[in-house]
Structure formats: C-alpha cells, structure tokens
Amino acid sequence: MFHAPIVPRVRKRSRPAEAGVARHEAVKFEDVRLYLVERKMGSSRRSFLTQLARTKGFIVDDILSDVVTHVVSEDCEAPSLWTWLKECGLRNLPNMHVLDISWFTDSMREGRPVAVETRHLIQDTLPTLPGCSTPTPVARVSQYACQRRTTTENNNKILTDAFEVLAESYELNQLEGPCLAFRRAASVLKSLPWAVQCLGATQGLPCLGEHTKALIEEILQYGHSFEVEKILSDERYQTLKLFTSVFGVGPKTAEKWYRRGLRSFSDILAEPSIQLNRMQQSGFLHYGDISRAVSKAEARALGNIIDEAVHAITPDGILALTGGFRRGKEFGHDVDFIVTTPEQGKEETLLPNIIDRLKEQGILLYSDYQTSTFDISKLPSHKFEAMDHFAKCFLILRLEGSLVDRGLNSTEGDSRGWRAVRVDLVSPPMERYAYALLGWTGSRQFERDLRRFARLEQHMLLDNHALYDKTKKEFLAATTERDIFAHLGLEYIEPWQRNA
C-alpha cells in the first residue's frame, strides 16, 4: 500500500552473470528498486553509479519497468524527462519516486535509502492537454466531485481516514473553511483508482494544500500522523464525538454539555437541569441499536415494509431507495426512501398515512413528521446547504430479525430477535421527483460540488427542488437525473459512482 519502511534485511540475491563475471552481492534493501536514467548522465557514469549502489546493497534495475520504485535522473529539465517517462507506457508511474541525483548521493553517503523529501523530487510541470493520449491519470482529476467517478472502493483509506478526523475536529470546533478543505482533499483521494504511495504521485491533484501534503508525507513515511493521533486522544474531541453520536444531538448541544463539565452519558442522564427533547430521549433509549450500522439486507427488509405500506395506501404509489444504499454501500447509518404518487397533491397525505400504518403494526418507535413548506414561488433559494422543503419524516422503526435475510446485524449474545433502525422518508411532488432523488442520493460531498459546479461554472442554482438558469432567468424541467446532468453540461454519473 504505502511505501514500506526501510528495514535492512540481508539476503543473497543471485543475478545472471554479467560480462562473463559471476558476482553475488548482498541485497540490503529489498523494497527499493532503483533505475538510473541514462539521458544527461551518460553511459559510463551510469554504470559507475550502478556498481556503487549495488556494492552498498541497493537493487539497481537496468530496465525501467513497473517494479521500479525510485527513478533517479541528472536531467534537470523536468518537462523533457517527464515527456520521456510518460512515453514509456508505465502503469505504475504515479507511484514512483522521480528523483534528482541529490537523493542518490545522500543515500550513498548514508549507506541506506534516505527518506524522500520534496527537495529531491523532480516535479512534473507538464500541462496535460484534454484528449492527450499519454497516460497521466493525475492531471485529469477534476476539482469537482460531480466530474469524478467515485465507487465504494477506496484505495487510500489510510489517508482519507486521517483527513476525515481533521475535518471532524474542525467541524466540532465550528471552523467551516478548514473542515471543507479536508473533506475536499479526502474526496479527491477517494476517487483515485490507485493507492498513493509517494508524495510525487499527488502532483497535479486538485484540492491538496500544504497541510494535506505534509500529512500525506508523514503518513507514508511513518504509517500514521502525530497530529491525527493527538486529536484522537484529545478529551474534548472524544467527548464531543460521543455526544454527537446520539440521535438529536448536534455540535452546539454537545459543546454546551462539554462546557458544563459533562463527560459521559451517565453525567448527562444524572444532571437534573438537563431537559432532553423527544428526539434525544429516543436517541439515548435506542442508542445501542441506532449507533450500530444498518446492513444492506436490513435496508432491503425495511424497503419491503415501506413498500407494502405505500401500496396499501395507494396502488400507484412510488417508492425509491436513496442515500448511501442507492450508491451501493454495504452499510449505512440509516435507510433513506422517497415516496410519492403521480396524483398531484396526494403526496401530502402519503406520509401521515404511512406513519399511521406503521403505528398500527406496532413497529413505530419514534416519528418526527415535518409538513411540506415547499413553495415554488419562493425559489430559487440562494442558501447553500439549506434543508429542503418537502414533507419528510425521521423515524425509528422496530425491525424483526425474521424479516431479514441471514438475520440482523446485532451484537453477539443479543437474543431480542429485533433491533431499532433509523429510517428517513421524504415525499416530494412527482414533478420534483428527479431533483429530490438526485439530492437525497448524495453523497454530501457530491451534492455540494454539484451545487458549486452549477453556480460557478454554469451560472445556475441547484437544490433538492429545482435548477434555475440565471442567464436565461428560467427553471429547467427534468423528469430524470440524466436530464439534470445534461442541463448542467455534465457527463452522467451513476449512483454507485457518487461516493465522493
């Protein structure tokens, strides 16, 4: 994954006889494979340096291939070197260290491969033209998540997990700017089809600032970051994380409790002056269940329950799974559905009817229903990240294990046979369906960048209700998500590619 730490291990490596002389040299650094670029260096100096390195236990390959880890060059003209490297047809080029001779001489002096530092790097300064055929995956990455395809497979989890800790820490301290910067950086790395193994590989990637680059370097070198570790062990961070993990508790409430000296759930529950609202009471009551991930099989079982309710109420009802499960995630913190009907106005009574039915079935543990405040005449909204105006409800449902394929995602020894699950239902009018579906499918970062792209690149305003063209001064109609991407001039991105 990341560049392995340098552990000198002595092993005999036999190489084919060279120039009639059979020689055996001890390889000390198995994880490092050098290649010396002959251009500018010249062949005699190259063979001298090759011999020198080999006597010091380095592997030096004569041929440049994908197994090479360190490319060393005396060519100080970066563009021509990079043009040549890109023409070599290497798949692993983004992960190779491309270094100037100073790294080599430092390593020879130390008798071991020294850590790669920025000053050693030969930077790729080549602009990549659109449609350019040389494989330069890095240069093609867009700064907008809605122009990247991000599956649930994350090749850079070790880095993105670290960025997310920092983002969360900034969020808990209500510092929006740096929080967003780390979220953006994490999102860029999540979209890469390869693992970053050296800082050089991040060259040309958007949204990576000095701070993120320093973190990447630190993690690649040591396997972890001291800054991240410090945050994770910080009492304030731990307490705020714990408090905000309760349904109904946001950063502001958590902060208030922390300032009052409260540090644990029992502190809160024992404090007589704290009045928990209904949502928080349910949050504490079902904490064990709803803080545990919901599985795909559980989401499917809930889909069946909601589907049955919708169709018992109206035969032409429409139900769609959205949120993380629509993006192909295996687990989620809740299950999100859109319910509507083609009969205009009828969607208004849909949610209250569903809620009544769930109550009759005895599976409604909590319900917070919000009526629609949708008013087309109040659009377009300039508010970024504003909550949408559709009728919706935030529920906690009781899910029987017998309804779930291969059973519940429950903790061992739990013999109740059921669990509590968070479910969100949103009910837009049918003509708003495509916008609601796009908005609720997420991810949050994908949505943020769709809106940012619309605003900055197309002079349009997008939210969960509509798309407004500020140039033409008109709303753009859409019946499918594809219509919306087309209005925005974006290539269509499938839901499972929106895990930004």
Chain residues in the site for ligand UTP (CB under 6 A)? 323-324, 329, 332-334, 336, 387-388, 439-440, 442-444, 447, 464
The torsion angles phi and psi of 489, rounded to 5 degrees, stand at: 70, 30
Count Cβ atoms below 10 Å from residue 163 Cβ, excluding itself.
28
Q: Which is nearer to ligand UTP, 1 or 386 (CB)?
A: 386
Q: Which does 440 bind (CB under 5 to 8 A by kind): Mn ion, ligand UTP, none?
A: ligand UTP
What whole-number distance in Å separates Cα of residue 69 and Cα of residue 71?
7
Q: Which is nearer to ligand UTP, 447 or 449 (CB)?
A: 447
Q: Is omega for the bond preceding 427 within 30 degrees of 0, making it cis?
A: no
Minimum CB distance to ligand UTP, residue 340 (Å): 15
Residue among 483, 481, 446 nearest 144 (CA): 446
Is 267 labeled as catalytic in the residue annotation? no
Q: Which does 429 bind (CB under 5 to 8 A by kind): ligand UTP, Mn ion, none?
A: none
Q: Which is nearer to ligand UTP, 103 or 247 (CB)?
A: 247
Alpha carbon separation from 107 to 59, 100, 103, 426 (Å, rounded): 13, 12, 6, 61
Which residue number has the CB closest to ligand UTP? 442
Q: Which is nearer to Mn ion, 94 or 495 (CB)?
A: 495
Alpha carbon separation from 8 to 5, 57, 68, 224, 386 (Å, rounded): 9, 9, 18, 21, 56
Q: Which does 388 bind (CB under 5 to 8 A by kind): ligand UTP, Mn ion, none?
A: ligand UTP
- List alpha helices for 31-98, DSSP H: 43-55, 78-87
Q: Which does 442 bind (CB under 5 to 8 A by kind): ligand UTP, Mn ion, none?
A: ligand UTP
Q: Which is nearer to ligand UTP, 329 or 419 (CB)?
A: 329
Is 463 labeled as catalytic in the residue annotation? no
Minimum CB distance to Mn ion, residue 421 (Å): 11
Is 424 labeled as catalytic in the residue annotation? yes
State the DSSP H helix or E strand holding residue 34, giving kind and residue range, or none if neither: strand 33-36
Q: Is 479 exposed, middle or buried (0-12, 13-18, 19+ CB in 10 A)?
A: exposed
Q: Which does 296 bind (CB under 5 to 8 A by kind): ligand UTP, Mn ion, none?
A: none
Q: Which does 283 bind (CB under 5 to 8 A by kind): Mn ion, ligand UTP, none?
A: none
Among 334, 388, 449, 463, which one carries the catalytic annotation?
Answer: 334
Residue among 211, 215, 198 nearest 160 (CA): 215
Considering Cα of 59, then 63, then 64, then 67, what sign does the dihedral take?
Answer: negative
Residue among 183, 37, 175 nearest 98 (CA): 37
What whole-number distance in Å separates Cα of residue 307 and Cα of residue 327?
20
Secondary structure (3-state) at 277: coil
Q: Which is nearer to ligand UTP, 60 or 493 (CB)?
A: 493
Q: Is omega for the bond preceding 380 within 30 degrees of 0, making it cis?
A: yes
Q: Which is nearer to ligand UTP, 217 or 481 (CB)?
A: 481
**Strand 70-73 vs strand 59-61: parallel, antiparallel, or unpaired?**
unpaired
DSSP label at residue 293 = P
On whether the CB atoms of residues 95 and 68 are closer than 8 A, the answer is no
Q: List, in order, residues 6 or more apart from 167 with CB less than 8 Å away.
A: 179, 180, 182, 183, 186
Among 336, 388, 449, 463, which one carries the catalytic annotation?
Answer: 336
Q: Which does 57 bind (CB under 5 to 8 A by kind): ligand UTP, Mn ion, none?
A: none
Among 307, 368, 424, 469, which one carries the catalytic annotation?
Answer: 424
Residues carrying an active site annotation: 334, 336, 424
